[in-house]
């Protein structure tokens, strides 16, 4: 497991209190049932991979009241009010996409729920779709309506990504530190920190000032553990100077971009990038439509600049590009680059869950965890991949979403009790 899983994550007092209550409530619910009571849903026959507990093997999973209630070698089918047959499939903790764009109806976001058949994802992190001018609408009109769980980084630009493709940071006056800090402090249930895009066409003459203001907003918020997610691409100026600003726990996204000013130069990973990883900056993939270059990634993997988190950067523009930035497809690219399956799964479950740090037992299939599951097929056979710079690679297998369960309820059939035919 990577360093993210070892880090002790702190969060605000409000979040801690909320978490403590949530755990007590969950334990009470599990304890209230007798040993012969039925499960709402039993997922049977699958091969469970749960890196959070070093578990890989055939297991049945019993779900009751939206929680994992049992993980056993065999649960009789009659013990489930409903069952899902996962024979021949992999059963994973619900996938977490740490860099996605799900503020639909405003900017480049898509509906996380509509994406589920392609993503198998139960938790999305919005990477700065909203800024202080749009976050409240996002929270009330989108997040509150979503079946999939949504957390978010607040954009340091108050207009968020609503002005795409016009750079949201061309006018530095949109980066309002006090307003952003206040919004972080008011929304510890959803907000993980600040997002900033440090690309020349986004920031213009403003250089690293947007990043500095994003960092200042997290500090001024008083929220312990608030992070900055920093996008790179054609970064303004010296990329090493940018990397040196990132603090332990901050997130470098598009780490393997080949858009210019890359983390790998002449085949060598920048010293500043390796130093950032060593001090605990989280390395995030953020594939997207223009931010994943095999030649960068391959050199980086060889030299130890490995990802902590695999994410898609799926949005309305990237979604139709040939690199197919869907989380299972991006995971498949790393699998075919030689990263072991368990590590690939960890980088889309327990690692981002640990970075989120405010939803108890997120990213695991332990008893008492939220009943979020991604059932996927590992499809053997030749497969063609392409990055965002027309580099092609052959692969041997890929991960394909089959069925997704959120809070104990499958997307699609079987429709849940009490109104459905069993």
Q: The tokens 């986004």 sit on which residue?
A: 202
- Span interacting with Zn ion, options 85-93, 295-303, 311-319, 349-357, rule CB under 5 A: 311-319
- Span interacting with Zn ion, options 260-268, 295-303, 307-315, 394-402, rule CB under 5 A: 307-315
> Interface with Zn ion includes 313 (CB under 5 A)?
yes
Integer Cα distance of 191 and 133 in angstroms: 15
Could you tell me the smallest distance in angstroms from the CB atom of residue 41 to Zn ion? 34
Output 210 or 410, the one with its CB closest to Zn ion: 210
50 known member of a binding site: no
Output 90 or 228, the one with its CB closest to Zn ion: 228
Q: The tokens 């041997």 sit on which residue?
A: 396
Size of residue set near Zn ion by CB under 5 A: 2
Output 158 or 403, the one with its CB closest to Zn ion: 158
> Interface with Zn ion includes 196 (CB under 5 A)?
no
| Cα angle 161, 163, 166; round to 5 | 105
Could you tell me the smallest distance in angstroms from the CB atom of residue 348 to Zn ion? 16
Could you tell me the smallest distance in angstroms from the CB atom of residue 101 to Zn ion? 6
Exposed/middle/buried for residue 189 (C-beta within 10 Å: 0-12, 13-18, 19+): middle
CA-based R_g, the chain, Å: 21
- Span interacting with Zn ion, options 121-129, 216-224, 326-334, 403-411, rule CB under 5 A: 121-129
Per-residue exposure over 236-270, b if at least 16 CB sit within 10 Å of its own CB, e if not:
beebbebbebbeebbbbbbbbbbbebbbbeeeebb
Integer Cα distance of 279 and 293 in angstroms: 24
Could you tell me the smallest distance in angstroms from the CB atom of residue 173 to Zn ion? 23
Q: What is the 3-state secondary structure (H, E, C) of 388-408?
A: CCCCEEEEEEEEEEEEEEECC
Output 50 or 198, the one with its CB closest to Zn ion: 198
Q: The tokens 């008083």 sit on which residue?
A: 222
Could you tell me the smallest distance in angstroms from the CB atom of residue 231 to Zn ion? 6
Output 102 or 346, the one with its CB closest to Zn ion: 102
> Interface with Zn ion includes 127 (CB under 5 A)?
yes
Output 42 or 314, the one with its CB closest to Zn ion: 314
254 known member of a binding site: yes
CA atoms within 13 A on the CB side of 385: 25
Output 127 or 243, the one with its CB closest to Zn ion: 127
- Span interacting with Zn ion, options 172-180, 306-314, 323-331, 337-345, rule CB under 5 A: 306-314
3-state secondary structure of 109: strand
> Interface with Zn ion includes 129 (CB under 5 A)?
no
| Residue 82 bridge partners (DSSP) | 41
Q: Which two tokens stand for residue 393?
A: 């690679």
Output 292 or 385, the one with its CB closest to Zn ion: 292
* CA 241 to each of CA 212, 237, 264, 379: distance values in angstroms, whole numbers, following the listed order: 12, 8, 15, 43
313 known member of a binding site: yes
- Span interacting with Zn ion, options 30-38, 187-195, 305-313, 340-348, rule CB under 5 A: 305-313
99 known member of a binding site: yes
101 known member of a binding site: yes
Q: Which two tokens stand for residue 353?
A: 């869950």
- Nearest residue to Zn ion, by Cβ distance, number only: 313
Q: The tokens 């001024």 sit on which residue?
A: 220
Integer Cα distance of 5 and 148 in angstroms: 23
Output the known binding site. 99, 101, 195, 231, 254, 313
Binding site for Zn ion (CB under 5 A): 127, 313
Output the known binding site for Zn(2+). 99, 101, 195, 231, 254, 313
């Amino acid at each position: 497991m990577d360093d993210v899983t070892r880090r002790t994550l702190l969060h605000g007092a409000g979040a801690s209190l909320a978490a403590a209550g949530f755990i007590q409530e969950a334990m009470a619910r599990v304890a209230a049932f007798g040993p012969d009571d039925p499960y709402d849903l039993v997922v049977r026959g699958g091969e469970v991979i749960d890196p959070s507990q070093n578990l890989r093997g055939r297991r049945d999973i019993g779900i009751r009241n939206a929680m994992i209630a049992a993980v056993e070698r065999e649960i009789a089918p009659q013990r489930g009010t409903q069952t899902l047959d996962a024979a021949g499939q992999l059963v994973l903790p619900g996938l977490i996409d740490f860099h996605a764009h799900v503020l639909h109806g405003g900017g480049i976001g898509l509906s996380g729920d509509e994406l589920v058949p392609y993503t198998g994802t139960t938790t999305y992190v919005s990477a700065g779709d909203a800024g202080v001018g749009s976050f409240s609408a996002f929270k009330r009109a989108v997040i509150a309506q979503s079946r999939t769980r949504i957390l978010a980084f607040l954009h340091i630009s108050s207009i968020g990504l609503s002005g795409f493709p016009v750079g949201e940071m061309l006018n530095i006056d949109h980066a309002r530190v006090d307003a952003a800090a206040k919004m972080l402090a008011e929304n510890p249930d959803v907000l993980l920190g600040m997002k900033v895009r440090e690309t020349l066409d986004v920031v213009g003459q403003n250089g690293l000032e947007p990043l500095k203001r994003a960092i200042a907003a997290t500090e001024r918020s008083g929220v312990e553990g608030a992070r900055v997610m920093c996008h790179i691409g054609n970064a303004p100026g010296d990329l090493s100077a940018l990397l040196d600003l990132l603090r332990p726990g901050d997130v470098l996204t598009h780490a393997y971009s080949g858009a210019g000013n890359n983390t790998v130069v002449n085949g060598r990973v920048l010293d500043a990038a390796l130093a950032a990883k060593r001090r605990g900056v989280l390395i995030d993939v953020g594939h997207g439509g223009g931010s994943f270059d095999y030649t960068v990634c391959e050199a980086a993997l060889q030299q130890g600049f490995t990802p902590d988190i695999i994410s898609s950067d799926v949005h309305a523009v990237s979604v139709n590009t040939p690199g197919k930035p869907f989380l299972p497809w991006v995971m498949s690219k790393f699998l075919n680059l030689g990263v072991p399956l368990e590590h690939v799964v960890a980088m889309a479950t327990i690692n981002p869950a640990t970075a989120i740090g405010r939803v108890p037992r997120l990213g695991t299939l332990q008893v008492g965890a939220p009943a979020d599951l991604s059932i996927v097929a590992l499809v053997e056979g030749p497969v063609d991949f392409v990055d965002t710079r027309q580099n092609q690679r052959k692969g041997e297998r890929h991960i394909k979403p089959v069925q997704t369960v959120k809070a104990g309820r499958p997307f699609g059939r079987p429709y849940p009790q009490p109104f459905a035919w069993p």
